[in-house]
Homo-oligomer: A and B are copies of this chain.
Amino acid sequence: MAIIGRLKLKAQIFRGGEPAIGPGKADLLEAIDREGSISAAGRAMGMSYRRTWLLVDSLNRCWKARVVETIAGGGRDKGARLTPFGRTVLETYRAFEAKLAAVTDDVSYKTLISLIRDESQPDEP
């Protein structure tokens, strides 16, 4: 969920009934990139091991190539990294989110903001 001032935006792109990418999956890809392991990424995001792996499996099924690959080694904590393809998916999604966020420059958004009651004012009109 991207937060830009008073705006919260959630953008998901679907393959069939499944989000191929959205805020949670993008954050997970970033966490894997940072942590170097799928289970460490899940822990960093407060997700169960099972849920983390299901999301990685979904990501790897939804795109034309793998986005996450595990690195030689055994056990739960073996390493993982984004593939170059996965990095492209992540960076392109972040670019798409930035384009969406830029719509806060539109007159429609500025008008809505101008019509919201000041938070310091009493609630009832």
Nearest B-chain residue to A60, judged by Cβ = B125
Query: Do the beta carbons of B6 and A13 come within 8 Å of each other?
Result: yes
Roughly how many angstroms separate A31 CA and B16 CA in the complex, as a whole number?
29
Query: Do the beta carbons of A15 and B6 come within 8 Å of each other?
Result: yes
Which 9 A-B residue pairings sit nearest by Cβ, starting from the closest? Answer: A96-B108, A95-B108, A61-B123, A10-B10, A8-B12, A99-B103, A6-B14, A99-B106, A15-B116
Nearest B-chain residue to A106, judged by Cβ = B99
Roughly how many angstroms separate A85 CA and B103 CA in the complex, as a whole number?
23
Partner of A11, one of B9, B60, B95, B125: B9
Query: Do the beta carbons of A20 and B92 come within 8 Å of each other?
Result: no
In addition to A7-B14, A8-B13, 15 A-B residue pairs with Cβ atoms within 8 Å of each other are A7-B13, A8-B11, A9-B100, A10-B10, A13-B116, A15-B116, A61-B123, A61-B125, A62-B117, A63-B125, A92-B108, A93-B108, A96-B106, A100-B100, A100-B103
Identical chains in the assembly: 2
- Collect the chain B residues with CB atoms within 8 Å of residue A60's CB: 124-125
A20-B64 in contact given A10-B10, A103-B99, A106-B99 (Cβ < 8 Å)? no
